[in-house]
């Protein structure tokens, strides 16, 4: 087949169009498998849907010109981000507990760190275990923060008392 006999590759941008053109059960398509009218060269699984890029011979002109056409069911927006799944939220009660013991600036830092860990854990272990780990970390943090807050209050109280005595 010479270059001038080839058509410009045609890109089908959705799965229905691809299936109607190829007339094959999508489940029969596998990478590298010859499907008669063409050949699957690449399959990508996104969630429950498979997207396949297939080189399909044009049946209308198969015997006369033996042209090739390329159909792709790849994502119509190749640069688009993959579908986003809503990230779970960390337990708000644990955040509240931390924020009661700290200044707003410090609680922002601590809760931000705990949330960053939570997001990583929820990707690795799932939301339920991540929430448990979050609570564990938050509770482990309470004692040193409480001690610090009490120490500060005592120092402040002692200072106020000293000022009162002086005046």
Which residues sit at the interface with another protein, rule CB under 8 A? 87, 89-90, 98, 102, 105-106, 108-117, 119, 137, 140-145, 147-148
Report in angstroms how near the CB of residue 42 gets to another protein at its nearest. Answer: 31
Q: Which is nearer to another protein, 74 or 98 (CB)?
A: 98
Report in angstroms how near the CB of residue 154 gets to another protein at its nearest. Answer: 14
Report in angstroms how near the CB of residue 89 gets to another protein at its nearest. Answer: 8
Q: Which is nearer to another protein, 5 or 113 (CB)?
A: 113
Secondary structure in 3-state letters for the chain? CCHHHCCCCCCCCCHHHHHHHHCCCHHHCCCCCECCCEEEEEEEEECCEEEEEEEEECHHHCCCCCCEEEEECCCCCCCCCCCCCCCCCCCHHHHHHHHHHCCHHHHHHHHHHHHHHHHHHHHHHCHHHHHHHHHHHHHHHHHHHHHHHHHHHHHHHHHHHHHHHHC
Give Cα separations from 145 to 133, 138, 140 (angstroms): 18, 10, 9
Q: Which is nearer to another protein, 22 or 145 (CB)?
A: 145
Report in angstroms how near the CB of residue 143 gets to another protein at its nearest. Answer: 7
Q: Which is nearer to another protein, 79 or 86 (CB)?
A: 86
Q: Which is nearer to another protein, 59 or 115 (CB)?
A: 115
58 Ramachandran zone, left/alpha/beta (phi>0; psi -120 to 50): beta
Report in angstroms how near the CB of residue 104 gets to another protein at its nearest. Answer: 11
């Amino acid at each position: 087949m010479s270059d001038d006999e080839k058509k410009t590759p045609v890109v089908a941008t959705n799965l229905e169009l691809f299936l109607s053109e190829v007339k094959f059960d999508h489940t029969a398509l596998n990478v590298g498998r010859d499907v008669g009218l063409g050949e699957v060269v690449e399959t990508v699984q996104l969630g429950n849907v498979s997207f396949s890029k297939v080189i399909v011979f044009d049946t209308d002109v198969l015997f006369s010109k033996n042209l090739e056409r390329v159909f792709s069911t790849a994502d119509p927006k190749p640069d688009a981000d993959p579908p986003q799944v809503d990230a779970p939220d960390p337990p708000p009660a644990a955040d509240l507990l931390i924020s009661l013991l700290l200044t707003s600036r410090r609680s922002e830092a601590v809760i931000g760190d705990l949330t960053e860990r939570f997001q990583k854990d929820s990707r690795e272990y799932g939301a339920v275990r991540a929430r448990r780990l979050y609570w564990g970390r938050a509770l482990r943090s309470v004692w040193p923060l409480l001690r610090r807050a009490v120490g500060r209050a005592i120092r402040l109280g002692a200072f106020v008392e000293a000022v009162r005595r002086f005046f």
